[in-house]
Structure 1
């Protein structure tokens, strides 16, 4: 069996006042040193724990930011897709309108060409008729002069 702690009282009783004071001071210093080491150990532990928590917080913040950016990117893609579809629809309508104008202008051009052709033909006929009348009139004027 081990010794019992009751021997400390005997030990203190056998010491002189000066030795007892030194012993108690030494014991108080040892307890103070143990308390200081314990506080230092706790402080170191808390610093390490705080560093780990800070690292996890930064990591989690990075993950959250990445997810948030992904969400915002998806929303922006959807908005851009809708905007592109609206622009495409507007452009398609514009192209259809321009094609309709082009068709109408081509029809007008065809009609104008037909009208021009008709008018030119009529003009040419009149010019020929005038020329024929003029030729016939000059021949008629020449004939009486030649027959006399």
Structure 2
């Protein structure tokens, strides 16, 4: 009823001008609302992108820490296996060295016994030779 009363006192041109003004005001309000909503959504998108980037960095950092821990455990196992293998090889080589030292000592002892026996035989031969020379000389 209020609008009809307004229009009742207006001329046709005033009505058209008034309606045009109202339409322009509504369009301006709609444009402001659209711009405000667009700005709000743009800000929200930027905030979400920042949060997403931060979360991605956190996840990447956590993932790398987890992978480092796993790799560290794997490398520790490898080092333990290599240390055990090295110890076995050292033990085997020490055993071989002990065997070779024993064989060398046995060989040296055998050589000394052979040398002693040889020298005894040479002494016997010299004694026999001297005895033979004395027998032939005494004739």
Q: TM-score, normalised by structure 2?
A: 0.92
Q: Once the 2 structures are TM-superposed, how far is the Cα of residue 140 of structure 1 from its aligned partner?
A: 2.8
* 1:50 aligns to 2:72 (yes or no): no
Q: Once the 2 structures are TM-superposed, how far is the Cα of residue 13 of structure 1 from its aligned partner?
A: 2.2
String of CA shifts for 1:3-52, please: whole Å, max 9, x gaps: xx93x543322222122112211110110111011011111111111111
Match of 2:34 among 36, 39, 43: 39
Partner of 2:109: 114
**Alignment RMSD:** 1.6
* 1:143 aligns to 2:138 (yes or no): yes
1: CA distance, partners of 2:32 / 2:127: 136
2: CA distance, partners of 1:41 / 1:116: 109
Q: Once the 2 structures are TM-superposed, how far is the Cα of residue 83 of structure 1 from its aligned partner?
A: 0.9
Q: Once the 2 structures are TM-superposed, how far is the Cα of residue 109 of structure 1 from its aligned partner?
A: 0.7
Partner SS state of residue 125, structure 2: helix
Partner of 2:89: 94
Q: Any unmatched runs of 5+ in structure 2?
A: none
Number of aligned residue pairs: 139
Q: TM-score, normalised by structure 1?
A: 0.87
Q: Any unmatched runs of 5+ in structure 1?
A: none
